[in-house]
Amino acid sequence: MTYSKDFRQHVLDYKEEHELTFEQTSQHFDISCRSLFRWADRVEPCTKRNKPSTKVDMEQLRCDVESHPDDYQWERAKRLGVTQSCIHYALSRLNITFKKKHLSTQRQMNKHAALSSKN
């Protein structure tokens, strides 16, 4: 659970005001000591990891998606030498999301469109 910036600041101010240790503050607010140590370094909550992709080359993945648009993630992972979850997260960083449509689903949609146009 992420605590708000105001609450974090309130806890740290309370600690300073009452000259408490991290352990005493932890017990008073029922928050782990480790959280208090992190808040002392940085009060703002982290919303994203600022970590670049390290296992897969994003440009190579983009080219792979263009050349093989219908492949599964595990097939891309095998070609690029990484895991399927690595491909999943890399595709989300590239904002590439799509669902495959099966032939039967497309036929049903066409049939429904044909019936709608007759009415």
Residue 84 DSSP label: H
pTM: 0.44
Give me 5's structure tokens. 């910036």
- pLDDT for position 117: 55
The helix (run of H) or strand (run of E) holding residue 25 is helix 22-29
CA angle 96, 97, 100 (to 5 degrees): 130
Using the predicted structure, report yes or no on whether residue 24 has a pLDDT greater than 90. Answer: yes
Give which of 96, 54, 60, 99 is closest to 79, Cα–Cα: 60
Region of poorest pLDDT, from 5-14, 37-46, 61-70 = 37-46
Q: Going by C-beta distance under 8 Å and a sequence separation of 6 or more, which residues neighbour residue 25?
A: 11, 14, 15, 31, 36
Using the predicted structure, report yes or no on whether residue 22 has a pLDDT greater than 90. Answer: yes
Q: Is the dihedral of CA 99, 74, 86, 53 positive or negative?
A: negative
Longest Cα separation, the chain: 79
pLDDT class for 82, splitting at 50, 70, 90?
Answer: very high
